[in-house]
A and B are shown apart, each in its own frame.
Chain A
Amino acid sequence: MLLAVLIANSEGNILVERFNGVPGEERLHWRSFLVKLGADNLKGVKNEELLVACHKYVFTPCFPLTLTTLFSPCVIKYAKLLIIFLYCFNLVSEAMFVVTSAIKDVCGKPPTERLFLDKYGRICLCLDEIVWKGLLENTDKDRIKRLIRLKPPTEF
């Protein structure tokens, strides 16, 4: 399950968030923790370097969920833009790559906050095609590109 996808700018303002199966009352904690985590990990990081599980896993904040064993946050940074995933191990690394490549595709080049906001509607559609309540729905980026324009996929 993909538990959360957060896209935030470097000031920590969230541009898009998708939580799946995280109780409402926990979201606020996760949100601030994940955004801080993203920002904390950015020092000296190259663009598109995948910061997998670069979290401070000794001190888990006050969540009933145990970060270390069950979930691994993962951060990808683009200029002034963080894409943060909170996922159950393994299966969803696939989803991560799909989401980031779809966003890059829509923006046409490595995304910035500005490009992202310009293409906001289309990015929302992409997320809608990729993941629904945590379950991965589509993974092929060409197919996603066609589906958001209501064009049938080519491969069948």
Chain B
Amino acid sequence: MALYVKKDDDRDEEAEYSPFSGIEKGAVLQEARVFNDPQLDSRRCSQVITKLLYLLNQGDSFTKVEATEVFFSVTKLFQSRDIGLRRMVYLIIKELSPCADEVIIVTSSLMKDMNSKTDVYRANAIRVLCRITDGTLLTQIERYLKQAIVDKNPVVASAALVSGYHLLQTNPEIVKRWSNEVQEAVQSRAALVQFHALALLHQIRQNDRLAVSKLVTSLTKGTVRSPLAQCLLIRYTSQVIRESSMNSQAGDRPFYDYLEGCLRHKSEMVILEAARAITELSGVTSRELTPAITVLQLFLSSSKPVLRFAAVRTLNKVAMTHPMAVTSCNIDMESLISDQNRSIATLAITTLLKTGNESGVDRLMKQITNFMSDIADEFKIVVVDAIRSLCLKFPLKFRTLMNFLSNILREEGGFEYKKAIVDSIVTIIRDIPDAKESGLLHLCEFIEDCEFTYLSTQILHFLGIEGPKTSDPSKFIRYIYNRVILENATVRASAVSTLAKFGAMVDSLKPRIFVLLRRCLYDNDDEVRDRATLYLNTIGGDGSVVETDKDVKEFLFGSFDLPLVNLETSLKNYEPSEEPFDVSSVPREVKSQPFAEKKAAAKKPTGLGAPPAGPTSTVDAYEKLLVSIPEFSTFGQLFKSSAPVELTEAETEYSVNVVKHIFDKHVVFQYNCTNTIPEQLLENVTIVVDASEAEEFEEIATKALKSLPYDTPGQTFVAFEKPEGVPAVGKFSNVLRFIVKEVDPSSGEAEEDGVEDEYQLEEFEVVAADYMLKVGVSNFRNAWESLGPDFERVDEYGLGPRESLKEAVTAVINLLGMQPCEGTEVVAANSRSHTCLLSGVYIGNVKVLVRLSFGVDSGKEVAMKLAVRSEDEAVSDAIHELVAN
């Protein structure tokens, strides 16, 4: 053992000898017999207990018999007077957690220790007893525990308080009776006792808002000395502030002075907790934020990584809502870009990207370039995402940002990283028309040397859609044809399709594309040859496949209107025979998709993974679903589908949400229902809608759901008629009606007879915003000018006293349901005025642009000037009516 000397920590080659090597459970259990020796060898016993602890920590489990045997032997060790051994005994009893009928064996020994004159015995005995005890024993020892809480020895008091904290979960009634003692302990001079007492007291009172508020009020006056307890108190204070702000809107924020005072505490832990609490206050003003930001700024240059990380992470969060408040830290933040800890560096970068102004973008990008080379892909993805947002915020800077993205695209990196970059370039191309040509060329350069088939095919597909619309499509052909020569079969096939798209869209290129496609006829892969043949025949126009130019374009560019899953299933079921496969036999009904998946899908960033018309893809799915239902197939084109509105609370028996589908003359409510009770099968599920508060709506059809088994989402629909083209509004209350049948959990079979039942759902409204599609414009000024002042309507409105300017802006955006443009939905923290630009498409496919100018006076009265331009005078007026009402 003494031979083991090691100077260099990283010299792993040296052989190590473990004192536990070759340890085996059976042998250790044999050794445990020494516990029964009449002459106890304390040292040996301690060693055996250590081995038992090691085995337990390695995940070895003892059988009931083994555990009982060890436990009984261990109890014999109470005879020993050796202090070290006694401490080990306490530990092993807790680790063995004996079952209730065995506990009795040690109870008396532990009770004796609990009343011992040696305080440390008492503390340990309390902890062990509370760990292994049940309710009945607890009532017997309650008196001792209450005394222990107010014991003058802090070790004993803490042991009792921490035990109480854990016992509260199993025996709340008993622990709640100790309130007076615990309250006394909160005033203790010992720091840890104060901390434990405060934690327990809050836990006891946590469901009583008033009591927590009283506790906070009394303690914030300054009796808490322990930094740990101070941190807890700050948390409880934030909770009280949150709850009280829901009730009162006006006046000074309660307890703010206390939080601000904590920023001057001598413990860093307390300062940080207070700063975080202040930044997380709802509707925090920049005046309130300033002192917190100042202390966090000091932490940015701390020598401790924990503090630097905590500060930069907090500031990063603040930057999302109050970018202007964080700008004062930019210089310190820039020095963190070179921090050794990459988490800190990445957070600093992403914060700077949020807080920086347009003029600083170039400088920032230079710094990031150096930083990117030495971080892992995962961090790089975060940076790429931040750059994409920055580019959309400052569209004029797209050249710098696009160059940066193209440079990092050429460097080494894994699939996810490359995909993030490509997705970002694609998003920028879609949102900033000026960026299209250069962006496409960067993507072309990338596929020249791209090792990922998936990305190559996706880019080729995108190129086929966007390339022909550029000023000089011919320059892309070389890149595409190179793929036909150099790549694998999958990429070659994609390249053939892309070539065909150029041929179909650009007449001047058609003859040359034919030459290239003909060469593909000799490819050694079937798919490539087949595609080339098909395209030559379609675009070549011999009339054998499609009739007209329009058909060609429809064939090449039209959306594929069959659900791919259904097509796949049908193809798998098709058996080769004389009869050819009939595409029209493929069902068009979209299979219901679990909500969680839908939500996950909705969160994914749009990029290559999504089709070009990204946001409308869900609408497409809805449209297909509705068309497939005969009752609704005559309603015409679907204008808009809302996001799902939850009609039940989380984790209730039945989970229901509603999607509002708006048609010109109709509204269809799609209720997505999930049954979360395994023992129930619901049948004939319908929603009974009371539309008495929606006068302009008349119910015309209902589609029931035949069966709703456990955890399989299903849909039921109710359709209403409304006046044509009118944005009718109203409130709808809903009751879920069904027949419930018991299901045998073992066999999964439902009983034959069911009982009719109802379940009350929340109500929801159809509002004006439901008639507005969020459609952004890349350059608002150009769009505004091109609409012209003919149908412009301008008026001013008083919005009354508001919590903040930001709140007023958000309320108006939500009311109109339009897309904020150029990042104007973000209101600078201390500004007195703000301009917000919105765009959208109103029902009847009328393009609408809105320019909102807000101003706020010292009494928080908000005034708003609303300027609307649209393609239709009546729509401009309608927008004003929406606001006026």
| A contacts, CB < 8 Å to B | 10, 14-17, 47, 49-59, 74, 78-80, 89-91, 93-94, 110, 112-114, 117-118, 120-121, 124-125, 128, 132-133, 135-139, 147-153, 156
The main secondary structure of chain B at its interface with chain A is helix
Given contacts A79-B10, A139-B192, contact A50 B305 (CB under 8 A): yes
Set of chain A residues within 8 Å of B9, measured between Cβ atoms: 47, 78-80, 110, 112
Among candidates A15, A53, A94, A120, residue contacting B50 with C-beta atoms closer than 8 Å: A120
Set of chain A residues within 8 Å of B18, measured between Cβ atoms: 113-114, 117
Q: A14 to B58, Cβ gap below 8 A?
A: yes
Given contacts A79-B6, A125-B91, A137-B162, contact A152 B120 (CB under 8 A): yes
Q: What residue of chain A has the Cβ atom nearest to residue B232's Cβ? A: A91
**How long is the Cα–Cα vector from A153 to B153 in the complex, in angstroms?**
9
Given contacts A93-B306, A124-B53, contact A57 B343 (CB under 8 A): yes
Set of chain A residues within 8 Å of B641, measured between Cβ atoms: none
Given contacts A14-B58, A132-B127, A137-B162, contact A148 B87 (CB under 8 A): yes
Among candidates B57, B276, B376, residue contacting A56 with C-beta atoms closer than 8 Å: B376
- Chain B, residues 781-806, CB within 8 Å of chain A (1/0): the string is 00000000000000000000000000
Set of chain A residues within 8 Å of B50, measured between Cβ atoms: 120-121, 124
14 contacts between A and B (CB under 8 A): A58-B379, A78-B9, A80-B9, A110-B9, A118-B1, A120-B50, A125-B87, A135-B165, A135-B166, A137-B162, A147-B120, A150-B124, A152-B119, A156-B153
Q: A52 to B127, Cβ gap below 8 A?
A: no
Set of chain B residues within 8 Å of A14, measured between Cβ atoms: 57-58
Min C-beta distance of A94 to chain B, whole Å: 6
Q: B53 to A120, Cβ gap below 8 A?
A: yes
Q: A52-B341, A56-B378, A128-B91 are in contact. List 19 more A-B contacts (CB 8 A).
A: A51-B305, A51-B341, A53-B309, A80-B9, A89-B310, A90-B310, A91-B273, A114-B17, A117-B19, A121-B49, A125-B91, A128-B94, A135-B165, A135-B199, A136-B195, A136-B228, A137-B158, A150-B84, A156-B153
Q: B154 to A91, Cβ gap below 8 A?
A: no
Q: A156 to B49, Cβ gap below 8 A?
A: no
Set of chain A residues within 8 Å of B6, measured between Cβ atoms: 79, 112
Q: A90 to B231, Cβ gap below 8 A?
A: yes
Is B4 on the interface with A (CB-CB < 8 A)?
A: yes
Min C-beta distance of A134 to chain B, whole Å: 10
Q: What residue of chain B has the Cβ atom nearest to residue A10's Cβ? A: B12
Q: A16 to B57, Cβ gap below 8 A?
A: yes
Set of chain B residues within 8 Å of A55, measured between Cβ atoms: 343
Min C-beta distance of B262 to chain A, whole Å: 13
Chain A-chain B contacts (Cβ-Cβ < 8 Å), number: 140
Is B567 on the interface with A (CB-CB < 8 A)?
A: no
Interface residues on B, range: 35 or more
**How long is the Cα–Cα vector from A120 to B57 in the complex, in angstroms?**
11
**How long is the Cα–Cα vector from A49 to B19 in the complex, in angstroms?**
28
Min C-beta distance of B496 to chain A, whole Å: 35
Min C-beta distance of A100 to chain B, whole Å: 12
Q: B86 to A80, Cβ gap below 8 A?
A: no
Residues 291-343 (chain B) with a chain A CB within 8 angstroms: 304-306, 309-310, 313, 341-343
**How long is the Cα–Cα vector from A135 to B228 in the complex, in angstroms?**
11
Given contacts A47-B9, A149-B87, A156-B154, contact A52 B309 (CB under 8 A): yes
Q: What residue of chain A has the Cβ atom nearest to residue B52's Cβ? A: A121
- Chain B, residues 87-103, CB within 8 Å of chain A (1/0): the string is 11001001000000000
Among candidates B19, B190, B341, residue contacting A118 with C-beta atoms closer than 8 Å: B19
Set of chain B residues within 8 Å of A56, measured between Cβ atoms: 376, 378-379
Is B486 on the interface with A (CB-CB < 8 A)?
A: no
Set of chain B residues within 8 Å of A59, measured between Cβ atoms: 378, 416
Is B54 on the interface with A (CB-CB < 8 A)?
A: yes
Q: A153 to B162, Cβ gap below 8 A?
A: no
**How long is the Cα–Cα vector from A124 to B58 in the complex, in angstroms?**
13
Set of chain A residues within 8 Å of B119, measured between Cβ atoms: 152
Q: B86 to A150, Cβ gap below 8 A?
A: yes
**How long is the Cα–Cα vector from A156 to B20 in the complex, in angstroms?**
39
**How long is the Cα–Cα vector from A149 to B50 in the complex, in angstroms?**
15
**How long is the Cα–Cα vector from A152 to B550 in the complex, in angstroms?**
92
Q: What residue of chain A has the Cβ atom nearest to residue B4's Cβ? A: A114
**How long is the Cα–Cα vector from A11 to B166 in the complex, in angstroms?**
35
Is B775 on the interface with A (CB-CB < 8 A)?
A: no
Q: B273 to A90, Cβ gap below 8 A?
A: yes
Q: A150 to B305, Cβ gap below 8 A?
A: no
Set of chain B residues within 8 Å of A17, measured between Cβ atoms: 57
Set of chain A residues within 8 Å of B10, measured between Cβ atoms: 79
Q: B49 to A54, Cβ gap below 8 A?
A: no
Given contacts A57-B378, A58-B381, contact A151 B120 (CB under 8 A): yes
Is B669 on the interface with A (CB-CB < 8 A)?
A: no
**How long is the Cα–Cα vector from A148 to B124 in the complex, in angstroms?**
10
Set of chain A residues within 8 Å of B162, measured between Cβ atoms: 132, 135, 137
Q: What residue of chain B has the Cβ atom nearest to residue A72's Cβ? A: B309
Q: B17 to A91, Cβ gap below 8 A?
A: no
Q: What residue of chain B has the Cβ atom nearest to residue A77's Cβ? A: B9
Q: A91 to B228, Cβ gap below 8 A?
A: yes
Residues 674-716 (chain B) with a chain A CB within 8 angstroms: none
Min C-beta distance of B387 to chain A, whole Å: 15
**How long is the Cα–Cα vector from A141 to B46 in the complex, in angstroms?**
22
Is B121 on the interface with A (CB-CB < 8 A)?
A: yes
Set of chain B residues within 8 Å of A51, measured between Cβ atoms: 305, 341
Min C-beta distance of B156 to chain A, whole Å: 10
Q: B46 to A121, Cβ gap below 8 A?
A: yes
Min C-beta distance of A103 to chain B, whole Å: 15
**How long is the Cα–Cα vector from A138 to B161 in the complex, in angstroms?**
13
Q: A91 to B190, Cβ gap below 8 A?
A: no
**How long is the Cα–Cα vector from A1 to B767 in the complex, in angstroms?**
44
Q: A114 to B16, Cβ gap below 8 A?
A: yes
3 smallest A-B Cβ distances: which pairs? Answer: A121-B50, A79-B9, A56-B378
Residues 230-271 (chain B) with a chain A CB within 8 angstroms: 231-232, 269
Min C-beta distance of B110 to chain A, whole Å: 15
Q: A54 to B342, Cβ gap below 8 A?
A: yes
Set of chain A residues within 8 Å of B625, measured between Cβ atoms: none
Given contacts A14-B57, A124-B50, A136-B228, contact A150 B121 (CB under 8 A): yes
Min C-beta distance of B768 to chain A, whole Å: 35
Residues 118-166 (chain B) with a chain A CB within 8 angstroms: 118-121, 124, 127, 152-155, 158, 162, 165-166
Is B272 on the interface with A (CB-CB < 8 A)?
A: yes
Q: A91 to B269, Cβ gap below 8 A?
A: yes
Q: What residue of chain B has the Cβ atom nearest to residue A112's Cβ? A: B6
Min C-beta distance of B91 to chain A, whole Å: 5
**How long is the Cα–Cα vector from A55 to B382 in the complex, in angstroms?**
13
Q: B376 to A121, Cβ gap below 8 A?
A: no
Residues 1-27 (chain B) with a chain A CB within 8 angstroms: 1, 4, 6, 9-10, 12, 16-20
Given contacts A53-B343, A156-B190, contact A150 B87 (CB under 8 A): yes
Q: B53 to A58, Cβ gap below 8 A?
A: no
Q: B84 to A90, Cβ gap below 8 A?
A: no
Is B755 on the interface with A (CB-CB < 8 A)?
A: no
Min C-beta distance of B265 to chain A, whole Å: 14
Given contacts A117-B19, A150-B121, contact A50 B378 (CB under 8 A): no
Set of chain B residues within 8 Å of A53, measured between Cβ atoms: 309, 313, 341, 343
Set of chain A residues within 8 Å of B153, measured between Cβ atoms: 152, 156
**How long is the Cα–Cα vector from A43 to B376 in the complex, in angstroms?**
12
Min C-beta distance of B201 to chain A, whole Å: 14
Among candidates A80, A118, A124, residue contacting B91 with C-beta atoms closer than 8 Å: A124
Q: What residue of chain A has the Cβ atom nearest to residue B308's Cβ? A: A52
Q: B83 to A149, Cβ gap below 8 A?
A: yes
Q: A150 to B83, Cβ gap below 8 A?
A: yes
Q: What residue of chain A has the Cβ atom nearest to residue B163's Cβ? A: A132
Set of chain B residues within 8 Å of A151, measured between Cβ atoms: 120
Set of chain A residues within 8 Å of B382, measured between Cβ atoms: 58
Min C-beta distance of B122 to chain A, whole Å: 10
